[in-house]
Amino acid sequence: MRAVVFERFGEPAGVREVPDPAPAPHGVVVRVEATGLCRSDWHGWQGHDPGIELPHVPGHELAGTVEAVGTLVTRHRPGDRVTVPFVCACGSCASCAAGDQQVCERQTQPGFTHWGSFAEYVALDHADVNLVAVADELSFGTAASLGCRFATAFRAVVAQGRVAPGEWVAVHGCGGVGLSAVMIAAAAGARVVAVDLSPRALDLARRFGAAHCVDASRTGDTAEAVRDLTGGGAHLSLDALGSPVTCAASVAGLRRRGRHVQVGLMPEDPKVPMSRVIGLELELLGSHGMPAHAYPPMLESVRAGLLRPDLLVTSTIPLAAAPAALEAMGTAPGAGVTVVEPWA
Ligand SMILES: [Zn+2]
Ligand SMILES: [Zn+2]
């Protein structure tokens, strides 16, 4: 099969022929019809993820059709349209037993713990636990964007963030996950303040329901701007980019007893204003994807048209263009979601 391969961290990846994957007894091989390009792929390529072994194939936001099934798989068969959370759970550890597959103790992640979906085929573990059926009406490109950014934003806003109608929600960083969070929070009845450096990203945020936009390139103190716009601070604030600056601004823009959810990954842990966390009784929460069993309410909102992940897909490229697009994620993450189609 053809795949995007990198031999060394930070050095250009290329498209080449590699052996086809085979399914584990509990796993499947999926023919990849679409796979999203995510900033986490860029972090992996840069060497920020200690679990990656070289050479490596990135890619973890995918949708496609089941090509082959392992002998122990009972709920899926070839031809099924599927997607998968980027955290593939084992289904049997204590966290999985508690329903918290997103923090599984023996998780695998395509594109990190093994070869990912910037390829014509990808192997996925524990298929009966992790595969999510994709309805015929949902395009593969849209379904691919659900697996990491949209589902992560959904869990961050709804489950971890406990958004409520009428609350102020600040979203720092309006790339794929940030724009998803803007849309999800607005659909939940919250009033959203979007913060980004890019006018294009803020235009999209406004289109997806942001009540106010803060242009960070022209604003000295974005936290102060958020506090001013929200009458004292956001109830819920997300760092959807993942940088020391946006993390600190997210925490500093909260009102008393507000909730910060860290969604964007960072190579190094940031300085967090802990005196403010104590004095204002703030909550600091993490969000790590979403388990397959939690997808139905999100998929129902998509089916009903309340959530429009399709609008987040702003470009579609073939596999050959993926290496350059991966490199560009570092300096120009772009607005919206880029989807790679390996068979295009
Ligand atoms: Zn991702
Ligand atoms: Zn587990």
Confidence of residue 331 (pLDDT cuts 50, 70, 90): confident
Return the ligand number nearest the Cα of 38.
1
Identify whether the C-beta of residue 201 lies closer than 8 Å to the C-beta of residue 174: yes
Nearest by Cα to 235 from 278, 270, 204, 190: 190
Distance 320 CA to ligand 1 centre (A): 20
- Which pLDDT belongs to residue 330? 79
Helix (H, G, I), strand (E, B) or coil at 328: helix
Distance 42 CA to ligand 1 centre (A): 10
Distance 109 CA to ligand 2 centre (A): 12
Distance 18 CA to ligand 2 centre (A): 30
Distance 110 CA to ligand 1 centre (A): 11
Return the ligand number nearest the Cα of 59.
1
Place of tokens 């980019």: 241
The two three-digit tokens of residue 205, written as one number: 């945020």
Distance 131 CA to ligand 2 centre (A): 15
Confidence of residue 340 (pLDDT cuts 50, 70, 90): very high
Confidence of residue 281 (pLDDT cuts 50, 70, 90): very high
Distance 44 CA to ligand 2 centre (A): 23
Taken in order 44, 46, 49, 55, is the CA torsion positive or negative?
A: positive
Is it true that domain 162-286 has CATH number 1.10.3720.10?
no
Task: Count CA atoms within 13 Å of residue 279 on its CB side.
Answer: 8
- Lowest-confidence region among 3-12, 253-262, 334-343: 334-343
Distance 214 CA to ligand 2 centre (A): 40
Give 203's contacts (C-beta < 8 A, 6+ positions apart). 335
Neighbours of 3 (CB within 10 A): 30
Mean pLDDT throughout 130-141?
Answer: 96
Pairing of strands 212-215, 191-196: parallel
Nearest by Cα to 214 from 150, 168, 177: 168
Identify whether the C-beta of residue 33 lies closer than 8 Å to the C-beta of residue 64: yes
User: pTM (2 decimals)?
Assistant: 0.93
Distance 162 CA to ligand 1 centre (A): 22
Distance 232 CA to ligand 1 centre (A): 32
What is the per-residue pLDDT across 145-181, written as a single tens digit (0 to 9) for each?
887 889 999 999 999 999 999 999 999 999 889 999 9
* Cα separation, 51 vs 48, whole angstroms: 9
Map out the domains of the chain as residue ranges: 2-150+290-341, 162-286
Percent of the chain with pLDDT over 70: 99
The two three-digit tokens of residue 23, written as one number: 């399914």
Q: Which helix (H) or strand (E) holds 259?
A: strand 254-262
Return the ligand number nearest the Cα of 91.
2
Residues with CB under 5 A from ligand 2 (ion): 89-90, 93, 96, 104
Q: Which CATH superfamily is domain 2-150+290-341 in?
A: Medium-chain alcohol dehydrogenases, catalytic domain (3.90.180.10)
Neighbours of 321 (CB within 10 A): 17
Distance 87 CA to ligand 2 centre (A): 10
Distance 102 CA to ligand 2 centre (A): 8
- Which pLDDT belongs to residue 141? 94
Distance 112 CA to ligand 1 centre (A): 11
Nearest by Cα to 246 from 190, 197, 184, 283: 197
Distance 122 CA to ligand 1 centre (A): 16
CA angle 73, 134, 157 (to 5 degrees): 105
Identify whether the C-beta of residue 86 lies closer than 8 Å to the C-beta of residue 60: yes
Distance 284 CA to ligand 1 centre (A): 21
The two three-digit tokens of residue 38, written as one number: 């995510």
Angle at which helices 199-207 and 176-187 cross, to 10°? 30
Report the Cα 119 to chain-centroid distance in Å. 19
The two three-digit tokens of residue 57, written as one number: 């194939």
Domains 2-150+290-341 and 162-286 are alike in CATH topology: no
Neighbours of 126 (CB within 10 A): 26
Return the ligand number nearest the Cα of 107.
2
* Cα separation, 140 vs 328, whole angstroms: 24
Distance 95 CA to ligand 2 centre (A): 6
Place of tokens 């309410």: 297
- Which pLDDT belongs to residue 289? 92
